[in-house]
Amino acid sequence: MSVKLNTDKLDLQIINAMMNDAEISYAELGKKLFVSAGTIHVRIKKLQEMNIISGTRMNVNVKLLGYDCTAFVGIYLEKSSLYDVVAKELKKIPEIVRLNYITGSYSMFLEVVCKDIAQLRRVLHDELQKIKGIERTETFISLEEGFSRTLVVVDPE
């Protein structure tokens, strides 16, 4: 069950705004949403206490820092019971920025960010294949990112 029942339209408007730009001031956001800065403040405090929102992150263009190579990796495990022990090993590899357990052909699915193909090869061959329990992997190199955006959260219909 969700805590959605305790959030109203104003909360969702604040969330959608701050999800895309957390630098907007309470005064400016309040003006947009026709309430005072104080109201924005108490709502944000409430949403933080409900763990719906938590901190902010700076957007970084890692491409400009030389990280030009994103790949997705599907993992076949020898046994499903090896999930946790393999996940623990994968977490040690800094180039892996995300791990999901999924349905379908693969047991696990990774997102990997590297500087170049050479580094990706090192991660796949030297690091991944070394982990006990991984049967084989399938790699999809991202040629280009079409788009990436935040979800727009809406009320239940």
Partner DNA sequence: ATTGAAAGAGTCTCAGT
Partner DNA sequence: ACTGAGACTCTTTCAAT
- Per CB under 7 A, residues contacting DNA are 10, 25-28, 30, 34-39, 41-45
How far apart CA 91 and CA 4 sit, in angstroms, is: 32
Does 80 engage in binding with a copy of itself (CB under 8 A)? no
* Closest to 54 in 3D by CA, of 9, 2, 19, 27: 19
Q: Name the nearest CA neighbour of 71 among 103, 109, 104.
A: 109
Q: Which two tokens stand for residue 3?
A: 């805590």
User: Closest CB to a copy of itself among 34 and 144?
Assistant: 144
Among 109, 122, 133, 137, binds a copy of itself (CB under 8 A): 109
In angstroms, rounded to a whole number, what is the distance separating the alpha carbons of residues 70 and 116? 9
Rounded to a whole number of angstroms, the minimum distance from the CB of residue 50 to DNA is: 12
How is residue 73 annotated by DSSP? E
Residue choice 27, 37, 85, 102 for contact with a copy of itself (CB under 8 A): 102
Binding site for a copy of itself (CB under 8 A): 2-4, 7, 12, 15, 18-23, 50-68, 70, 72, 87, 90-91, 94-95, 97-106, 108-109, 113, 115, 138-153, 156
